[in-house]
Amino acid sequence: MSTQDKIKKLIDLRSDAKLGGGVKRIEKHHSQGKMTARERIEVLIDEGSFEELDMFVTHRCTNFGMEKNKILGDGVVTGHGTIDGRVVYVYAQDFTVFGGSLSETMAQKICKIMDMAMKVGAPVIGINDSGGARIQEGVTSLAGYAEIFERNILASGVIPQISAIFGPCAGGAVYSPALTDFIMMTEESSYMFVTGPKVVKTVTGEEISVEDLGGADVHASKSGVAHFKCENEEEGLLLIRKLVSYLPQNNMEEAPVLECNDPIDRMDDALNNIVPDNPNLPYDMNDVIFSIADEGEFLEVHRNYAKNIITGFCRLDGQSVGVVANQPNYLAGVLDCDASRKAARFVQMCDAFNIPILTLVDVPGFLPGSGQEYAGIIIHGAKLMFAYGEATVPKVTVTIRKSYGGAHDVMSSKQLRGDFNYAWPMAEIAVMGAKGAIEVLEGRNIAKLETEEEKAEFAQKKTDEYEESFANPYQAASYGYIDDVIEPRNTRFRVIRAFQNLQTKKVTNPPKKHSNIPL
Ligand code: HXC
């Protein structure tokens, strides 16, 4: 073969590999409104930045005549590229090749880029679209999954790991995404479950559709498995680009600081009027977040799950900040099992990746009742407390309105090593609300009174006294638990200045193998 022939051969092999499972299967894939693995990567990363690896890898299976059916690159496209100029490693399962099912060699390709990402300290983004374990390969495929799982675990908290689910993801295959930091699903074209509808029917008798069992809606709102739900693949890929911009490359670095054109001392008079005079009326905590954030931009995580707490990213003076905020507009912002788990996971992720945390508090307490107790509110609430208490990143807390009982302690209180704890003048920081407190303290005295009128008058008098003494921020401020009571319209400035001050914060936890967080 001449040199020119050899070069031509390379070019031909490359074009073969790029066709994956062939034109017909690509057409079928497109007809379902789905992009191919390479098209997805093109949207995800900066134009022209993709370096593909292992294009010539093929499977080694000889069962079921597989030796005659080899496709260059096998069922996954792997490599690295950049997002906004920062390196990321990517794998995208190719459904046109044996349904993207995982072979031993596919697992090796994925593990190779995960190892590389760990070596250079860069995020890994996995695009999942696969029929699961390659049936013809049997146990080597299962071993391949376990190799990936182990790497997911070791990389956790070291490099950001993001999973997009753009097709089937069933059986044990769901556990690789579940071990990563973020899961994104597309509406109607993606699903995740441990066992599919047919097995469910056989085992339990329940009849349920794929969508109802493990579609994007279910996982984004009911189970909380998915952090993001997108209408289509393009929207999902662009959202991953945005998400990456809030994250550092690895746990030894800080997230990038972007140029900020929004004045840090921008005041917002609307905040002085946002909290209603009646403490039982709601308002939208999102309005507070939008007002404080640079340019009003906020990337919400888990938007449709446990809406009584808000989690997400904003920038303050260009710096990436994780926001955790009770939402009085939904279940009065109460802390329940789901909200506690959601926020705990977010706080842990921020702490692992050196992202400072802003906590906005308006919480009436933990949700009472047997339902919550049986579901383990004690353990789930403890998760959030643990996450806050263990976190060493800068933590700034603003108590907007209610901060009652155990929930007060949990929500980044001073004693859980909150660095700067501010309160608005309408903050109420106490063991419980006035009504409950008066029932406990004065119930017997009220009962002794003869007429209903007398009872109501006495209860009101005691309630007023209680509110005067406790339903304000000044008792906490008199102990130094609140560092300052601030005017609402000035919140952005005060919070940014606090975080600026904390840039050199250094706190370490006692040496240990690892914590034993209440799981
Ligand atoms: C080998 C597979 C495959 C698999 C699909 N294909 N899944 N090949 N192993 N697991 C092949 C098909 O033979 C077909 O090949 C091509 O991929 C496309 O599949 P279709 O069935 O035509 O596509 P579609 O109708 O869209 O259905 C997709 C599907 C279905 C729902 C994913 O293929 C399916 O049910 N597959 C099996 C899923 C499964 O049970 N996997 C094992 C799960 S357990 P041709 O040549 O016709 O194009 C598991 C354990 C993991 O994964 C454990 C980890 C610890």
pLDDT along the chain (519 residues), means of 10: 96 96 96 96 98 97 92 97 98 96 97 98 97 94 97 98 96 94 96 92 94 97 98 97 98 97 97 95 98 98 98 98 98 98 98 98 96 98 98 98 96 98 96 88 92 93 90 95 98 98 97 96
User: Packing angle between helix 434-448 and helix 452-470, nearest 10 degrees?
Assistant: 140
Which residues are within 8 A (CB) of 211 and not within 5 positions of it... i.e. 6 or more apart?
188, 191, 217, 218
pTM: 0.96
- Which residue's alpha carbon is nearest to atom 33 within ligand 1? 131
Q: Provide the pLDDT for residue 290.
A: 98
Q: Percentage of the chain with pLDDT > 70?
A: 100
- Whether 33 is a known active-site residue: answer no
Q: Strand locations in 40-113, DSSP E?
A: 51-53, 76-83, 86-93
User: What's the CA-to-centroid distance between 60 and ligand 1, angstroms?
Assistant: 18
User: What's the CA-to-centroid distance between 116 and ligand 1, angstroms?
Assistant: 29
Count CA atoms within 13 Å of residue 235 on its CB side: 9
Count CA atoms within 13 Å of residue 64 on its CB side: 8
User: What's the CA-to-centroid distance between 132 and ligand 1, angstroms?
Assistant: 6
- Which residue's alpha carbon is nearest to atom 45 within ligand 1? 98
Q: Provide the pLDDT for residue 192.
A: 96
- Whether 205 is a known active-site residue: answer no
Residue tagged active-site, from 171, 236, 322, 365: 171
Mutation probe of ligand 1 site: the residue of 66, 94, 101, 200 with most atoms within 8 A of C-beta? 101
38 Cα distance to chain centroid: 26
Cα–Cα distance, 91 to 76 (Å, whole number): 7
User: What's the CA-to-centroid distance between 197 and ligand 1, angstroms?
Assistant: 15
- Whether 171 is a known active-site residue: answer yes
- Whether 100 is a known active-site residue: answer no
Determine the residue type at 282.
Answer: P
Q: In 3D, which of 32, 119, 45, 30 has the Cα closest to residue 77?
A: 45
Cα–Cα distance, 132 to 123 (Å, whole number): 24
Where do the H-state alpha helices sit in 56-174?
Answer: 104-120, 139-155
- Bridge partners, 313 (sequence order): 299, 322
**Residues within a 6 A CB radius of ligand 1:** 25, 98-99, 101, 131-136, 142, 145, 168, 170-173
- Which residue's alpha carbon is nearest to atom 24 within ligand 1? 99
Q: Provide the pLDDT for residue 467.
A: 87
